[in-house]
Amino acid sequence: MQFNLNQEQLAFQKAARDFSAGELAPHAQEWDEKKLFPVKTIASAGALGFCSMYCDEKVGGLGLSRLDTVIILEELAAGCTSTAAFISIHNMASWMITQWGSDAIVKHWATALMSGEKLASYCLTEADSGSDAGNLRTSARADGEYYILNGAKAFISGAGATDVLVVMARTGSADDGPKGISAFVVPADAAGISYGKNEIKMGWNSQPTKTISFEDVRISAECLLGREGEGFKIAMQGLDGGRINIASCSIGAAQATLNHAKQYMQERRQFGQSIADFQALQFKLADMVTELVAARQMVRLAAFKLDNDDADKTTYCAMAKRFATDIGFRVCDEALQLHGGYGYLREYPIERFFRDARVHQILEGTNEIMRVITARRLLAEGGTEAIR
């Protein structure tokens, strides 16, 4: 068993850390305040391969492992959590397109998606089906060489600013449940698509979130990912990786706030001494760093399971997502507390990390759903041996 990063991973980590410190961190506050989606910066990340991290080299991707990917995303998130999180969604959607897309689709989209010149959104959630995604109602009706899409998606990250949508839609009947769902690659400007207003959010302000409506949107049959009826499975396979990516974004945010808190405690004086000298606060720091290290290792373990196509990879990804996003948020919260009133001010970056990390407990499957996945496997036959 080897816990150290290898030379290559250390090099990726450094490249991501440098990019994050130079290109993300200095602008994160402005992007948050002005709600700017930094597409040019995302393309610069793409130039370093960060928009195609685990896409196959055959399609122009970087061909990294999931373990390499979480190391990079953690660093990006320490600069701007919201932008790193969008990059993670783009990577997930691009991977789905290149993994299951027809030759024509891959040829059409891959190069621009890998470079970050074009961006992708993942469209699963609907107003009435969030956690219960298998009950989604957006429909795709076959019509000769085409499919016709009708329905609406909610909460779509990047919507209105991305170029291509991975849309999960029903090709079967409502009674077919998840088995009646197929996945499609849809040009974001196809006739019949309209976008709602940019949602006003607590965090994740450097990326838009909108509803998307589909009214008789005609797309070529070549836009189908995999086969009819495989869409839900494809969506969930995308999310295995998506969940550990989002978990890494929480780790990155938490590490950044921990670093800020440590420095602040050493500088801030009260009662004639540095607040870092109060043992109660030292214990807090000790707990924060301990839990953060545990969460990071949990994410890396899940990434390892995914890389090795372990039979229980989905459960490990769910456990890691639940644990790391809960711990990540708690560390951000504690770091804010350690800053006293200053932690609450926009002048300091802590409250932004806190706001950005909060949503990670909700999206890509809520942490309650992560517990559903974990408990279901544990209680099934062989569960005790599978998860230990």
Ligand X SMILES: Cc1cc2nc3c(=O)[nH]c(=O)nc-3n(C[C@H](O)[C@H](O)[C@H](O)COP(=O)(O)OP(=O)(O)OC[C@H]3O[C@@H](n4cnc5c(N)ncnc54)[C@H](O)[C@@H]3O)c2cc1C
Which amino acid is located at 316 in the chain? Answer: Y
Of 121 and 237, which has the nearer Cβ to ligand X? 121
Of 41 and 374, which has the nearer Cβ to ligand X? 374
Decide: 173 and 145 in contact? Cβ < 8 Å. Answer: no
What are the C-alpha distances in Å from 337 to residues 250, 328, 340, 342, 354?
Answer: 18, 14, 5, 9, 11
The distance in angstroms from the start CA to the end CA of the chain is 16
Q: Nearest approach, Cβ of 186 to ligand X (angstroms)?
A: 13
Of 208 and 343, which has the nearer Cβ to ligand X? 208
Which residue of the chain is nearest ligand X when measured via CB? Answer: 130
Q: Are strands 120-123 and 164-170 parallel, antiparallel or unpaired?
A: parallel
- Catalytic residue (one of 364, 368, 381, 385): 364
Decide: 74 and 12 in contact? Cβ < 8 Å. Answer: no
Q: Report residue 115 as tokens.
A: 């470079």
Of 300 and 358, which has the nearer Cβ to ligand X? 358
Residues in touch with ligand X (CB under 6 A):
89, 121-125, 130-131, 155-157, 201, 204, 209, 359, 362-366, 368-369, 372
Cα of 227 vs its chain's centroid, Å? 25
Long-range contacts of residues 289-294, Cβ cutoff 8 Å, at least 24 apart: 289/258, 291/327, 291/330, 291/331, 292/251, 292/254, 292/255, 292/258, 292/327, 292/328, 292/331, 294/323, 294/327
Of 260 and 355, which has the nearer Cβ to ligand X? 355
Distance CA 301, CA 360 (A): 19
Establish whether 230 is a catalytic residue.
no
Q: Nearest approach, Cβ of 324 to ligand X (angstroms)?
A: 17
Q: Nearest approach, Cβ of 8 to ligand X (angstroms)?
A: 31
Of 230 and 310, which has the nearer Cβ to ligand X? 230
Q: Nearest approach, Cβ of 166 to ligand X (angstroms)?
A: 9
Beta bridge partners of 139: 150, 170
Q: Nearest approach, Cβ of 47 to ligand X (angstroms)?
A: 24
Q: For residue 216, report the phi and psi dihedrals to the nearest 5 degrees.
A: 50, 50
Q: What region, left, alpha or beta, does residue 143 occupy, with left being phi > 0 and alpha being psi -120 to 50 degrees?
A: beta
Q: Nearest approach, Cβ of 372 to ligand X (angstroms)?
A: 5
SS3 assignment for 264-331? HHHHCEECCEEHHHCHHHHHHHHHHHHHHHHHHHHHHHHHHHHHCCCCCHHHHHHHHHHHHHHHHHHH
| Catalytic residue positions, numbered | 364
